[in-house]
Structure 1
Amino acid sequence: MILKLNSKFIFLYAFALFIIAAVYGFLIRWNFTFPVGSFPYKNILQSHSHVAFLGWGYLAVIGVILKLFTSVKLQKHQLYKFCFLIIYTTATGMLISFPIGGYKVFSIVLLSVFGIATYVVSFKILKDIKEQSVATKLVKFGIYYYLLSSLATWFIAVVMVTQGKTDLYYNTIYFYLHFLYNGFFVFALFGILFKLIENEGIQISKKTQNAFFVYLNSACIPAYALSILWSDVHVIFYVIGFAASILQLISLLYLLNILKLIFKNNRWNFILRILLKFSVIAYALKIIIQVFSSFPYFVEKSLALKPYFIIGYLHLFTLAFMSALLFFILNQLKIFNFYKFSKVGIYVFLCTVFCTELLFFIQGFLLLLKLNPLPHYNLWVLFFSGLLVMSLVVIFIQQFKRSKLEN
């Protein structure tokens, strides 16, 4: 049965959505390079982002949480199966509704039903997780932050009706993105990573783990201030944002100490080490960028060069950190297998992400310094976007090589 939660279906389905989101990204880049007059840019962009986060990101992360933190017996509960059927259906519907109609009635209905189903799953998971550890605390707070972020999806409809697309409208969107990114994904992914470390039998100081959790958690809510500095806010928000970025930086130092010990005491193969190091470097860069983003000068320049710095930051998180770490996790759990060609796919994926990030930020800095921009910039980004899609397709196909989809 395809709704069996300990099967590969949930992860292959999530990965298929990731590929489609990447295809939408490629189409957007194609339009930048070879403009098409009737191209529905905003609609495709909305589908691209929603499917990447709610399809690939949410489904893969929540599937791993169920597999690692709940018993097989609890996973078989009919409530999970029913809710995941709704999630699959609504996520698939968004692939069609956004490109055709954008953020209109049908898409809003799908998002609302998706949200209600994830609420049920979230509360059920919180009830079913029994163990007590730092990994568990991270996962539970990740779910708390997901629930907090989702409040914005209900509030934004009220704002649109009463005020239109004002500063409050955009700050509500940033509220959603902040607690989804820096709340749910960051906390849940590191909770999963710590659980894998426990399962490997590697002993990490609970004091160090707790320090990482405390600093990270203390920073999460005030760090939202960094997301609203673009609007006309009081100077106190810059102070709060800077303090939150420093707390995140301290938590990063604890994380690096933990990872240093991990790399000394495991036998992971080369590709797993590369994936983990790549994702952690991306996460460290994200934290450093957030420190700089607490200063007015960098806020102003980032807004002026949004297609480069802000888009580069979003892709740094989504591809370099979240996706690379998910590949590591799924391989560690033997859900995804990296054979000969899929290893090539992983290396190509990492190379294309690295090159695309270089293009984004180099072009941004060249324009910031009023120097000549990179020649054929859009064409190069289009090339690497296509290469990214190809790498994902190779990885996906290889998952069927030695083990067929479980029933």
Structure 2
Amino acid sequence: MKPIYYIIPLFNFLIAALLGLLLRSIFVYPIEGVTFLYVLHTHSHIALLGWLYLLVYVLFVQQFGLKNDKENTFYTRLFWVTQLAVLGMGVTFPFMGYAAASISFSTLHIICSYVFVVHLWKNNTVSGKQQGVLLKTSLFFMAFSTLGVWCLGPAVGMMGKASAFYQICIQFFLHFQFDGWFLTAFLTLLFAIVFKGYSLSKFKPFYYTWIVSVILTYALPVSWYVELPILHYLNAVGVLLQFYSVGYLLNPVYKMFKQRDNNEANFVWLLLILAGICFTMRIGTQLLVISESIANELQALRSWIVGFIHLNMLGVLSGFGLWLMIQQKKMYVNIFTKIGILSLLFGFVLTEFLLFVQGLQGFMHIVWIENTPLSLFWASVLLPISVLSFLISYLKK
């Protein structure tokens, strides 16, 4: 696809990063007339649907879409309609939150995703059976996750926004977006772009353990709203299966690492290392909540919840997505790329550390770092600087 289709997701990422900085600033420099919750909704929607979704969209089309004028026209038009939905959410959520206009643009985005799923499912250039299975599985999870959105209306009508059912519907969408759609999509791209035709000898056990793990780990967000001890154990089994399934990929990833281009390895591979470390930490964090008492304590600490979300969004998904862009030669390693990678690493590590300390201080009622909101704000400045550097790097190419 043309460069503009990679610039737009990066631009959306920059807007999401700036909105995140605005959220951090509200705790330090309150801004009159700005509703925190409305900005939070805008930040999350643009990060999820404007950055990650569109990045996977263009990478999937580039890798698996049919190459002819008719298909190019189709994907181009669908891209811009999807981006229109993102822009619509970007200009309505900050002023009204969930209202008729913002919900309409969100619905438009879902409809666009259905069109994308059905079209790519039927028309693709997948070269191997393993890639094909993973591609269709990720597309299935994309559509499956939206069942949670369609259930929100009935949930509000029957039980209200404060009900457990309403929250479970939201978590259904988020879980199967993150674990089902995005993670499986990136696994598909790993097989197609990085392994380049490599066939995993034990693909079936890898695949089935991965799918079961995605389903079982949904028990964790459900356990936040339903007091049922078995949910913690189902989550533990799911996390262990996820860890086990990823183990099948270690050997081909190690072989790929040995064959890397040494001229760019020092910086480019930092992104993949970041994604790998964050994924391991993610699994470790989920194992901690086997205990119901620990799970309840963690749920009450907002800073740790935010840190966990960013561990997924920034560490795992964004880190791996940016690495794939470089592998696809959509970004080249230059001074701006290096600034972007280093700013992302330092900004991510600092903000995660401060969020952890902030939560620990609240948990133990001890103060180690005075005025953590101010420290978080200045550490967060590095994140939009990082995205801006990546964008300049791409434009420079």
TM over 0.5: yes
Q: CA deviation at 1:232?
A: 2.9
For 1:232, the equivalent position in structure 2 comes to 226
Aligned amino acid, residue 290 of structure 1: Q
For 2:386, the equivalent position in structure 1 comes to 391
- The answer to whether residue 243 in structure 2 is matched with residue 246 in structure 1 is no
Q: CA deviation at 1:72?
A: 1.8
- TM-score (normalizing by structure 2): 0.94
Query: Distance in 1 between the 2:285 and 2:70 partners?
Result: 39
For 1:171, the equivalent position in structure 2 comes to 168
The farther-off stretch of 326-335 and 81-90 is 81-90
Give the % identical residues: 26
User: What is the aligned counterpart of 1:316 among 311, 326, 332?
Assistant: 311
For 1:261, the equivalent position in structure 2 comes to 255
- The answer to whether residue 137 in structure 2 is matched with residue 137 in structure 1 is no
1:24-39 aligned within 5 A? 24-39=19-34
Q: CA deviation at 1:190?
A: 1.5
Assess if the C-alpha contact under 8 Å between 2:232 and 2:290 holds in 1: yes
CA 54–225 in structure 1, closer or farther in 2 if over 3 Å, else same? same
CA RMSD of aligned residues (A): 1.8
SS of match in other structure, 2:223: coil
- The answer to whether residue 289 in structure 2 is matched with residue 293 in structure 1 is yes
Assess if the C-alpha contact under 8 Å between 1:74 and 1:128 holds in 2: no
For 1:212, the equivalent position in structure 2 comes to 206
CA 209–272 in structure 1, closer or farther in 2 if over 3 Å, else same? farther
SS of match in other structure, 1:7: coil
Query: Distance in 2 between the 1:33 and 1:55 partners?
Result: 27
The farther-off stretch of 261-270 and 98-107 is 261-270
Aligned amino acid, residue 236 of structure 2: F
Moved segments of 4+, more than 6 Å: none
Aligned amino acid, residue 103 of structure 2: I
Q: CA deviation at 1:77?
A: 4.5
Aligned amino acid, residue 34 of structure 1: Y
Assess if the C-alpha contact under 8 Å between 2:217 and 2:239 holds in 1: yes
Assess if the C-alpha contact under 8 Å between 2:65 and 2:71 holds in 1: no
Query: Distance in 2 between the 1:74 and 1:350 partners?
Result: 40
Aligned amino acid, residue 263 of structure 1: F
Q: CA deviation at 1:120?
A: 0.5
Q: Spell out, residue by residue over 1:247-289, the C-alpha distance to the aligned partner (whole angstroms, 9 max, x if none).
A: 1121232233332232123335222211111111111111221
Q: CA deviation at 1:37?
A: 4.4
1:7-406 aligned within 5 A? 7-73=2-68, 76-129=71-124, 130-165=126-161, 166-199=163-196, 203=198, 206-267=200-261, 269=264, 270-306=266-302, 308-402=303-397
For 1:3, the equivalent position in structure 2 comes to none
Q: CA deviation at 1:133?
A: 3.2
Query: Distance in 2 between the 1:372 and 1:233 partners?
Result: 32
Q: Spell out, residue by residue over 1:121-171, the C-alpha distance to the aligned partner (whole angstroms, 9 max, x if none).
A: 111111112433323322221111111111111111221122211000001
Assess if the C-alpha contact under 8 Å between 2:331 and 2:393 holds in 1: no
Aligned amino acid, residue 80 of structure 1: Y
Aligned amino acid, residue 141 of structure 2: Y
Q: Spell out, residue by residue over 1:17-44, the C-alpha distance to the aligned partner (whole angstroms, 9 max, x if none).
A: 1100111111110001122343210100
- TM-score (normalizing by structure 1): 0.92
Count matched residues: 393
Query: Distance in 1 between the 2:282 and 2:146 partners?
Result: 23
